[in-house]
Chains A and B, each alone.
Chain A
Amino acid sequence: MRTYWFTEDAYPDLPPQDEYESIRVNLPNSNFDPKRGNELYNWYLDLWCMAESYGLDIMNNEHHQTATCMVPAAPLMMSILARETSKARLLILGNPIANRRNPIRVAEEMALIDVISKGRLECGFVRGVPYEAAPANRTPLRGSQRLWEAHDMIMKAWTTHDGPFNYEGRWFHGRQINIWPRPYQQPAPPVWVTMGGRSSTTPVAKHKHIGAVFLAGYPRIREIYDGYREDYLQMHGEHAPFDRLAYLGLVFVGENEKKAREGAEKLLWYMSANKVPGYWSNPPGYHPPQISAQIMKGARGGAGIPLTASLEDQMARGNVFAGTPDQVYEQIKNFWEYSGGFGNMLMMGQAGFVTHEETETSMKLYSEEIFPRLRELEASTTPAEAWEKSKAMKQRDNVPLDGFALEFVR
């Protein structure tokens, strides 16, 4: 079991929410004070270094034109951490390669980070959330196909060492590809891909890549994990090891219930701040027509997420794990067993106005009191056993779906 500590690097110092239409895409950057930005970037880098000091690994990501995530270039932040840290695995989850114009540039950047960090890169590829379509000016239609073509090109670039090759696909083209440097890890850094539904598991399992699921909660986790495990078993003739699956949830651990609740409520900024109108979350070709129609009608929140969902609801869904160390362990254990098990916990440990002190306390308590028990939990069983046990459990849907996971999963 590994735990990757994650913050989205928010810029939370915004006017009241009713004073702007959207936190993404068209929020004017006059709202961004570069001096404040300087403090925040450096603080977030400090938090990641702190995570390493508590024995955790590091995860970052990128978004564009949004105050929810100030990092428009995940490799830039991670290249700093490649130098600042020495032990932690460095997970970028991920590179939005369906929207990137040049996959070879991504292959080069990832190889560079891998070499500087002495082989600590974990390289994620994502399709990107719908609100990335406008900033990238990339049609979301056929995004998954573009992702896999870019993936194939990058893998080929990483693993070809005898001079130039050509790759002339549908969307991406190169005639003399011969990247310098090549990755430190051979044959290639571990690859992660996000999975949003049953239909997205097959290519991930085929490559034995790590399939990551964000906030699918109880209602959808087994559909996705079972799909991956079925595909993996069928294609490779063996059960998928735990380390092939990852789950991202919001985690806040407090010394007592009161403090835990305060911290967790603050952490929910990640969800409550995500004010996005339907037209940004509904670019043509991202969603199937029926879901797109519901967004147009306004039946679904623009972000596909109930902005008012309470902490209790989010915890009931398995999106948030919060409480004292014992409580959080029990919550994660329940979810872990229900899901059939996973070897990578992606811990969103800071968001919005969660303070340095709160973040550190939660990180420390998790690291010292929960993480060891999760490792024991994983070691106490096998993937086959855990899967059987999961199958015996009744499907649990604590709260209505509302397509919650649809946009955060990618």
Chain B
Amino acid sequence: MLGNGVITLSKRREEAMGAKTETITLPIGKCTVTRKGSGPQLLLLHGGGGSIADHPVADRLAEKFEVIAPTHPGFNGTKIPDHFDGMPELVHFYLDILDALKIENAVLLGISMGGWLAAELASINCSYFSKVILVDAVGVKVGGPTDRDIMDVFGIPPDEAQKLMYHEQSNAPDLGSLSDEILAGIASNRIALGLYTWEPYMHNPKLPQRLHRITAPTLFIWGESDGLVTTDYGKAYAALIPGARFVAIPEAGHSPYAEQTDRFVSEVLAFTD
């Protein structure tokens, strides 16, 4: 019998800093968006781990910006539209979102897979954005066919993948200790990540030929200890965008915003000031 035991998974948060989460309906599908803070817009595109709208870094950024953090369909329990087969569908979904959310003169900040999405969007139409920040981003292949530029996160044990993501190993979550509900959420995000990145793996072979269209000032922020995509990869990626700067943050892995939040925020603020 259902009844008292029913758990409502979709929680609407109205929390500190005026954070507001809403679901908007677009021609292609629904999108959950969290906004917090006020100031110039900062469009925050999350990576394969799911939304970081609740992460302290979002609050820090919200002290200066209106942080606008959509959840990519399929992450955090949201539905993947039936026709989605990969990144191209997500990119076109976001073209609608940019208009629906009235994105204007925004700082575009994309992390990991969200960095790939950001590079795609900025190369299609950079006029929405004042600055572009790519954090440990994937999206291009910089080596030859047999160079493993991007670690195959689906071809190594999940706990090993976690280790490659963190500089300080104790920061990596212990999967075995998580609740079934949280694990199912991680598994669900992993399915979405697989959908968007499976083949060609984590990149678009055509993207390098379009990156010159990113005309906004661009900064690459990289965790120096990132084992998924190394700083060499990041530097080669940065070299594909005219004038892009590259900064490595020591003692941080694939998620420098989490391991070195202060330094990360200060890099963002310095670049956007």
A, B assembled together: yes
Residues of A within 8 A of B (CB): 25-26, 134, 137-142, 170, 277-279, 283-285, 289-290, 292-294, 296-298
Q: Is the CB of B190 within 8 A of A137?
A: no
List, in ascending order, chain A residues with CB within 8 A of B187's CB: 289-290, 292-293, 296
- A293 with B186: CB separation less than 8 A: yes
User: With the chains together, A114 CA to B191 CA distance in Å?
Assistant: 39
Q: By the criterion CB–CB under 8 Å, are A279 and B156 in contact?
A: yes
| Contact in complex: B183, A296 (CB < 8 Å) | yes
Residues 147-168 of B at the A interface (beta carbon under 8 Å):
154-158
B85 in the interface, Cβ–Cβ < 8 Å? yes
Known interface pairs A277-B157, A284-B154, A293-B183. Does A138 touch B199 (Cβ–Cβ under 8 Å)? yes
Which residue of the partner chain, among A26, A139, A279, contacts B199 with CB atoms under 8 Å? A139
Q: What distance in Å separates the Cβ of B47 from its nearest Cβ neighbour in chain A?
A: 15
Smallest distance from the beta carbon of B195 to chain A beta carbons, Å? 5
B40-86 interface (Cβ within 8 A of A): 85
B184 touches A289 (CB 8 A): yes
Asked whether A141 and B188 contact (CB < 8 A) given A134-B155, A296-B158, A297-B183, the answer is: no
Contact among B175, B183, B185, B195 with A285 in the assembled complex (CB-CB below 8 Å): B195
| Nearest A residue to B192, CB-CB | A284
A-chain residues with CB within 8 Å of residue B180 when the two chains form the complex: 290, 293-294, 297
Nearest chain B CB to A98 CB, angstrom units = 14
Nearest residue (CB) in A for B198 is: A139
Further pairs besides A137-B198, A292-B187: 4, Cβ < 8 Å: A279-B158, A285-B191, A292-B190, A297-B176
Which 7 residue pairs spanning A and B have beta carbons closest together? A284-B194, A293-B183, A292-B187, A139-B198, A289-B188, A289-B187, A293-B187
Interface: B202 (CB within 8 A) = no
Interface of chain B, helix or strand or loop or mixed? helix
Interface residue from B85, B155, B178, B191 paired with A292 (Cβ < 8 Å): B191
CB neighbours (8 Å) of A279 from chain B are 154-158
* Whole-angstrom distance between the Cβ of B133 and the nearest chain A Cβ: 27
Q: Could you say which residues of chain B place their CB within 8 Å of the CB of A278?
A: 157-158
Verify B194–A285 contact, CB threshold 8 A: yes
- Chain B residues with CB under 8 Å of A297's CB are 175-176, 178, 180, 183
A283, A284, A290, A297, most chain B CB atoms within 10 A: A284
Q: Please name the residue on chain A nearest to B152 by beta carbon.
A: A134
A141 touches B195 (CB 8 A): yes
Check A290/B85 contact, CB under 8 A, given A279-B158, A283-B154, A297-B175.
Answer: no
CB distance from B233 to the nearest CB of A (A): 21
CA–CA, A170 and B180, complex, Å:
35
Contact A284 B186 (CB under 8 A): no
Partner of B85 from the list A142, A289, A293, A294 (CB cut-off 8 Å) is A142
Chain B residues, CB < 8 A from A25: 155
- Size bin of chain B's contact surface: 20 to 34
Q: How far is the CA of A283 from the CA of B185 in the complex (A)?
A: 15
Pull 23 A–B residue pairs with CB atoms less than 8 Å apart, ordered by A.
A26-B155, A139-B195, A139-B198, A139-B199, A140-B194, A141-B195, A142-B85, A277-B157, A278-B157, A283-B154, A284-B190, A284-B191, A285-B191, A289-B191, A290-B180, A290-B187, A292-B184, A293-B180, A293-B183, A293-B184, A294-B180, A296-B158, A296-B183
Given A289-B184, A293-B183, decide whether A141 and B157 contact each other with a Cβ distance below 8 A.
Answer: no
Is B193's beta carbon under 8 Å from chain A? yes
Judging by beta carbons under 8 Å apart, are B194 and A141 in contact? Answer: yes
Minimum CB–CB distance from A406 to chain B (whole Å) comes to: 15
Within 8 A of A (CB), among B176-231: 176, 178, 180, 183-188, 190-191, 193-195, 198-199
Q: Tell me the smallest distance from the CB of B171 to a CB of chain A, in Å.
A: 19
Q: Are A284 and B195 in contact (CB under 8 A)?
A: yes
Q: How far is the CB of B113 from chain A (nearest CB, A)?
A: 13
Contacting residues, chain B, for A138 (C-beta < 8 A):
198-199
Q: Which residues of B contact A296 (CB under 8 A)?
A: 158, 175, 183, 186-187
Task: Say how far B79's CB is from chain A's closest CB, in angstroms.
Answer: 13
> Which residue of chain A is the closest to B201 with respect to CB atoms?
A137
A138 to B198, CA, bound (A): 8
Assembled-state Cα–Cα distance A284/B80 (Å): 14
With a cutoff of 8 Å between Cβ atoms, the chain A residues found around residue B175 in the complex are: 296-297
User: Which A residue's beta carbon lies closest to that of B161?
Assistant: A279
Question: Which B residue's beta carbon lies closest to that of A279?
Answer: B157
Look across to chain A and name the residue whose beta carbon is closest to the beta carbon of B190.
A284
Query: Which residue of chain B has the shortest Cβ distance to A134 in the bound complex?
Result: B155
Residues of B within 8 Å of A26, CB to CB, are: 155
Distance between B15 CB and nearest chain A CB, rounded to angstroms: 26
A141 adjacent to B183 (CB under 8 Å): no
Contact check, A298 vs B176: say whether CB atoms are below 8 A apart.
Answer: yes
Per the bound structure, the CA–CA distance linking A141 and B194 in Å amounts to 8
A141 CA to B85 CA in the complex, in Å?
9
Name the distance in Å between A60's Cβ and chain B's nearest Cβ.
Answer: 28
CA distance A139 to B201 in the complex (A): 11
Given known A-B contacts A279-B156, A297-B175, A139 and B194 have beta carbons under 8 A apart: yes
Name the B residues within 8 Å of A294 (CB-CB): 180, 183
Measured CB to CB, the nearest residue on chain B to A277 is B157
Q: Given the complex, which residues of B lie within 8 Å of A142, measured CB to CB?
A: 85
With a 10 A CB-CB cut-off, give which of A285, A289, A293 has the most chain B CB atoms. A293
Shortest B202–chain A CB gap in Å is 13
The docked-state distance in angstroms from the alpha carbon of A298 to that of B177 is: 11
Could you tell me the distance in whole angstroms from the C-beta of A162 to the nearest C-beta in chain B?
A: 33
**Cα–Cα, bound, A361→B128 (Å):** 76
Taken together as a complex, chains A and B put the C-alpha atoms of A294 and B176 apart, in Å, by 10
Give A290 Cβ to nearest chain B Cβ, in Å.
5
> A141 to B154, Cβ gap below 8 A?
no
Q: How far is the CA of A38 from the CA of B216 in the complex (A)?
A: 61
- Bound CA span A297–B157, Å: 11
Residues of B within 8 A of A139 (CB): 194-195, 198-199
Q: Which residues of B contact A285 (CB under 8 A)?
A: 191, 194-195
